[in-house]
Structure 1
Amino acid sequence: MIDHISFGVTDFARSTAFYDQAFAPLGVRRLFDVPEEQSDGVKVTGYGDDRPWFWLAEENATTGLMHIALQAKTNAAVDAFHAAALRAGGTDNGAPGLRPHYHPGYYAAFVLDPDGHNIEAVCHTAPP
Protein backbone atom coordinates (compact mmCIF):
# COMPACT_ATOMS: atom_id res chain seq x y z
CA MET A 1 0.00 0.00 0.00
CA ILE A 2 1.20 3.51 -0.73
CA ASP A 3 2.01 5.50 2.41
CA HIS A 4 2.86 8.82 0.78
CA ILE A 5 4.19 10.33 -2.42
CA SER A 6 6.31 13.36 -3.21
CA PHE A 7 7.99 14.86 -6.18
CA GLY A 8 10.44 17.58 -7.01
CA VAL A 9 9.18 20.94 -8.25
CA THR A 10 11.19 23.59 -10.06
CA ASP A 11 9.47 26.62 -8.49
CA PHE A 12 8.49 25.86 -4.89
CA ALA A 13 6.51 29.07 -4.28
CA ARG A 14 4.54 28.70 -7.53
CA SER A 15 3.78 25.04 -6.83
CA THR A 16 2.66 25.57 -3.22
CA ALA A 17 0.41 28.45 -4.32
CA PHE A 18 -1.14 26.15 -6.93
CA TYR A 19 -1.73 23.20 -4.59
CA ASP A 20 -2.96 25.42 -1.74
CA GLN A 21 -5.79 26.54 -4.00
CA ALA A 22 -6.39 23.41 -6.08
CA PHE A 23 -6.63 21.04 -3.10
CA ALA A 24 -8.85 23.27 -0.91
CA PRO A 25 -12.16 22.06 -2.41
CA LEU A 26 -11.09 18.47 -1.65
CA GLY A 27 -10.40 19.18 2.02
CA VAL A 28 -6.67 18.68 1.46
CA ARG A 29 -4.47 21.37 2.97
CA ARG A 30 -0.86 22.10 3.77
CA LEU A 31 -0.16 20.43 7.12
CA PHE A 32 3.58 20.38 7.62
CA ASP A 33 6.68 22.25 6.50
CA VAL A 34 9.92 20.35 7.13
CA PRO A 35 12.49 22.64 8.77
CA GLU A 36 15.22 23.24 6.20
CA GLU A 37 17.92 22.21 8.70
CA GLN A 38 16.31 18.75 8.73
CA SER A 39 16.06 18.53 4.94
CA ASP A 40 19.57 19.58 3.89
CA GLY A 41 18.40 23.10 3.06
CA VAL A 42 15.66 21.87 0.71
CA LYS A 43 12.16 23.34 1.00
CA VAL A 44 9.68 20.50 1.68
CA THR A 45 5.99 20.67 2.54
CA GLY A 46 3.29 18.06 3.12
CA TYR A 47 -0.40 18.15 2.22
CA GLY A 48 -3.16 15.92 3.49
CA ASP A 49 -6.36 15.69 5.45
CA ASP A 50 -5.53 14.07 8.81
CA ARG A 51 -1.81 13.48 8.05
CA PRO A 52 0.55 14.55 5.27
CA TRP A 53 0.56 12.09 2.37
CA PHE A 54 1.28 14.35 -0.64
CA TRP A 55 4.67 16.05 -0.48
CA LEU A 56 6.44 18.66 -2.58
CA ALA A 57 10.18 19.30 -2.47
CA GLU A 58 12.54 21.60 -4.29
CA GLU A 59 13.93 19.38 -7.02
CA ASN A 60 17.54 18.35 -6.48
CA ALA A 61 19.78 15.28 -6.55
CA THR A 62 18.68 14.16 -3.06
CA THR A 63 14.92 14.34 -3.56
CA GLY A 64 15.03 12.57 -6.91
CA LEU A 65 12.50 13.09 -9.67
CA MET A 66 9.71 11.46 -7.74
CA HIS A 67 9.41 9.85 -4.33
CA ILE A 68 7.01 7.14 -3.30
CA ALA A 69 6.87 5.43 0.09
CA LEU A 70 5.41 1.98 0.53
CA GLN A 71 4.18 0.70 3.88
CA ALA A 72 6.07 -2.18 5.43
CA LYS A 73 4.65 -4.26 8.28
CA THR A 74 7.95 -4.68 10.14
CA ASN A 75 11.39 -3.14 10.43
CA ALA A 76 12.78 -6.41 9.05
CA ALA A 77 10.70 -5.93 5.89
CA VAL A 78 12.23 -2.45 5.49
CA ASP A 79 15.70 -3.97 5.84
CA ALA A 80 14.87 -6.69 3.30
CA PHE A 81 13.49 -4.14 0.82
CA HIS A 82 16.68 -2.07 1.03
CA ALA A 83 18.95 -5.08 0.52
CA ALA A 84 16.87 -6.43 -2.38
CA ALA A 85 16.71 -3.04 -4.09
CA LEU A 86 20.49 -2.65 -3.90
CA ARG A 87 21.01 -6.16 -5.30
CA ALA A 88 18.62 -5.27 -8.13
CA GLY A 89 20.76 -2.28 -9.12
CA GLY A 90 19.33 0.51 -6.99
CA THR A 91 21.49 3.15 -5.34
CA ASP A 92 21.46 3.69 -1.59
CA ASN A 93 19.71 6.95 -0.67
CA GLY A 94 19.32 6.29 3.07
CA ALA A 95 20.14 3.10 4.95
CA PRO A 96 17.46 1.43 7.09
CA GLY A 97 16.99 3.17 10.40
CA LEU A 98 14.87 5.34 12.63
CA ARG A 99 13.94 8.82 11.40
CA PRO A 100 12.70 10.40 14.68
CA HIS A 101 12.50 13.87 13.10
CA TYR A 102 9.38 12.55 11.29
CA HIS A 103 7.96 10.85 14.38
CA PRO A 104 9.17 8.38 17.02
CA GLY A 105 9.21 4.88 15.58
CA TYR A 106 9.42 6.05 11.92
CA TYR A 107 11.70 3.35 10.51
CA ALA A 108 12.56 3.66 6.83
CA ALA A 109 15.04 3.01 4.05
CA PHE A 110 15.49 4.83 0.75
CA VAL A 111 16.89 3.82 -2.64
CA LEU A 112 17.10 5.50 -6.01
CA ASP A 113 15.76 3.31 -8.78
CA PRO A 114 17.60 3.11 -12.14
CA ASP A 115 15.82 6.28 -13.33
CA GLY A 116 16.60 8.28 -10.18
CA HIS A 117 13.21 7.97 -8.47
CA ASN A 118 13.46 7.93 -4.67
CA ILE A 119 11.71 4.78 -3.41
CA GLU A 120 11.11 4.31 0.33
CA ALA A 121 9.84 1.51 2.52
CA VAL A 122 8.52 2.69 5.90
CA CYS A 123 7.21 1.01 9.02
CA HIS A 124 5.29 3.23 11.44
CA THR A 125 4.26 0.71 14.06
CA ALA A 126 7.06 -1.81 14.55
CA PRO A 127 9.32 -1.28 17.54
CA PRO A 128 12.86 -0.10 16.77
Structure 2
Amino acid sequence: MLDHTGIVVTDLDKARRFYDAIAKPLGLMTADNGPDAFLLGRSPTEYPYLWIGRLIPSYWVEGSRPGINQMHVAFAAKTKAAVDAFYATALEAGGKDNGLPGPRKGADQYYGAFVLDPDGNNIEACYRGPDAV
Protein backbone atom coordinates (compact mmCIF):
# COMPACT_ATOMS: atom_id res chain seq x y z
CA MET A 1 0.00 0.00 0.00
CA LEU A 2 1.12 3.51 -0.68
CA ASP A 3 1.26 6.08 2.12
CA HIS A 4 3.13 8.77 0.25
CA THR A 5 5.94 9.25 -2.19
CA GLY A 6 7.77 12.28 -3.43
CA ILE A 7 9.78 13.72 -6.25
CA VAL A 8 12.20 16.61 -6.37
CA VAL A 9 11.77 19.01 -9.28
CA THR A 10 13.95 21.72 -10.75
CA ASP A 11 11.21 24.27 -11.50
CA LEU A 12 8.37 24.30 -8.96
CA ASP A 13 6.14 26.63 -11.01
CA LYS A 14 6.44 24.47 -14.14
CA ALA A 15 5.80 21.33 -12.10
CA ARG A 16 2.76 22.92 -10.44
CA ARG A 17 1.20 23.81 -13.80
CA PHE A 18 1.76 20.24 -15.02
CA TYR A 19 0.36 18.52 -11.90
CA ASP A 20 -2.55 20.97 -11.58
CA ALA A 21 -3.53 19.99 -15.13
CA ILE A 22 -3.35 16.23 -14.69
CA ALA A 23 -5.09 16.29 -11.28
CA LYS A 24 -8.50 17.22 -12.69
CA PRO A 25 -9.17 14.22 -14.96
CA LEU A 26 -8.03 11.89 -12.16
CA GLY A 27 -10.34 13.44 -9.56
CA LEU A 28 -7.37 14.71 -7.55
CA MET A 29 -6.25 18.12 -6.32
CA THR A 30 -3.06 19.97 -5.48
CA ALA A 31 -2.42 21.86 -2.25
CA ASP A 32 0.41 24.05 -1.04
CA ASN A 33 2.84 22.43 1.38
CA GLY A 34 4.98 25.42 2.26
CA PRO A 35 6.88 27.71 -0.11
CA ASP A 36 9.00 24.92 -1.61
CA ALA A 37 6.50 22.10 -2.18
CA PHE A 38 2.95 21.05 -2.89
CA LEU A 39 0.93 17.86 -2.50
CA LEU A 40 -1.09 15.94 -5.07
CA GLY A 41 -3.88 13.73 -3.75
CA ARG A 42 -7.54 13.46 -2.90
CA SER A 43 -7.26 16.15 -0.22
CA PRO A 44 -4.47 17.97 1.62
CA THR A 45 -4.99 15.75 4.67
CA GLU A 46 -5.74 12.32 3.14
CA TYR A 47 -3.25 9.57 2.37
CA PRO A 48 -1.81 8.53 0.01
CA TYR A 49 -0.33 11.63 -1.57
CA LEU A 50 2.54 12.63 -3.81
CA TRP A 51 4.88 15.29 -2.40
CA ILE A 52 6.42 17.48 -5.12
CA GLY A 53 9.03 20.03 -4.22
CA ARG A 54 12.48 21.48 -4.60
CA LEU A 55 13.86 20.60 -1.15
CA ILE A 56 16.69 18.07 -1.10
CA PRO A 57 15.66 15.00 0.94
CA SER A 58 17.89 14.00 3.85
CA TYR A 59 18.05 10.42 2.53
CA TRP A 60 19.56 11.31 -0.87
CA VAL A 61 23.02 9.93 -1.51
CA GLU A 62 25.81 12.25 -2.62
CA GLY A 63 25.48 13.19 -6.29
CA SER A 64 21.69 12.89 -6.45
CA ARG A 65 19.74 15.57 -8.28
CA PRO A 66 16.24 15.98 -9.74
CA GLY A 67 15.66 13.63 -12.63
CA ILE A 68 18.80 11.52 -12.13
CA ASN A 69 16.78 8.54 -10.94
CA GLN A 70 13.59 8.46 -12.96
CA MET A 71 10.58 7.93 -10.75
CA HIS A 72 7.45 6.07 -11.83
CA VAL A 73 4.09 6.96 -10.31
CA ALA A 74 0.84 5.36 -11.49
CA PHE A 75 -2.43 7.05 -10.60
CA ALA A 76 -5.68 5.06 -10.56
CA ALA A 77 -8.29 6.44 -12.95
CA LYS A 78 -12.01 5.69 -12.66
CA THR A 79 -12.57 5.19 -16.41
CA LYS A 80 -10.74 4.80 -19.69
CA ALA A 81 -11.98 8.29 -20.59
CA ALA A 82 -10.20 9.65 -17.52
CA VAL A 83 -6.95 8.01 -18.72
CA ASP A 84 -7.44 9.64 -22.13
CA ALA A 85 -8.12 13.04 -20.51
CA PHE A 86 -5.06 12.64 -18.26
CA TYR A 87 -2.88 11.98 -21.30
CA ALA A 88 -4.24 14.93 -23.31
CA THR A 89 -3.99 17.43 -20.46
CA ALA A 90 -0.53 16.20 -19.50
CA LEU A 91 0.75 16.90 -23.02
CA GLU A 92 -0.94 20.32 -23.04
CA ALA A 93 0.71 21.10 -19.70
CA GLY A 94 4.24 20.39 -20.91
CA GLY A 95 4.47 16.62 -20.49
CA LYS A 96 6.02 14.39 -23.14
CA ASP A 97 4.50 11.24 -24.57
CA ASN A 98 5.91 8.04 -23.10
CA GLY A 99 3.12 5.66 -24.13
CA LEU A 100 -0.21 6.34 -25.81
CA PRO A 101 -3.44 5.47 -23.99
CA GLY A 102 -4.46 1.87 -24.53
CA PRO A 103 -4.41 -1.68 -23.25
CA ARG A 104 -1.04 -3.03 -22.13
CA LYS A 105 0.34 -6.33 -23.36
CA GLY A 106 0.55 -8.87 -20.55
CA ALA A 107 -1.74 -6.88 -18.25
CA ASP A 108 -5.26 -8.30 -18.14
CA GLN A 109 -8.06 -5.73 -17.97
CA TYR A 110 -5.59 -2.82 -17.87
CA TYR A 111 -5.73 0.45 -19.80
CA GLY A 112 -3.01 3.03 -19.25
CA ALA A 113 -1.12 6.01 -20.58
CA PHE A 114 2.39 7.25 -19.81
CA VAL A 115 3.87 10.74 -19.91
CA LEU A 116 7.14 12.24 -18.76
CA ASP A 117 6.76 15.23 -16.44
CA PRO A 118 8.97 18.32 -16.93
CA ASP A 119 11.84 16.60 -15.05
CA GLY A 120 11.58 13.28 -16.89
CA ASN A 121 9.67 11.31 -14.26
CA ASN A 122 7.37 8.66 -15.75
CA ILE A 123 3.79 9.49 -14.73
CA GLU A 124 1.01 7.05 -15.57
CA ALA A 125 -2.75 6.93 -15.28
CA CYS A 126 -4.37 3.51 -15.43
CA TYR A 127 -7.81 1.98 -15.33
CA ARG A 128 -8.41 -1.61 -14.27
CA GLY A 129 -11.67 -3.31 -15.03
CA PRO A 130 -13.64 -5.52 -17.41
CA ASP A 131 -14.02 -2.81 -20.05
CA ALA A 132 -10.33 -1.85 -19.94
CA VAL A 133 -9.44 -3.72 -23.14
* TM-score (normalizing by structure 2): 0.47
Higher strand share: 1
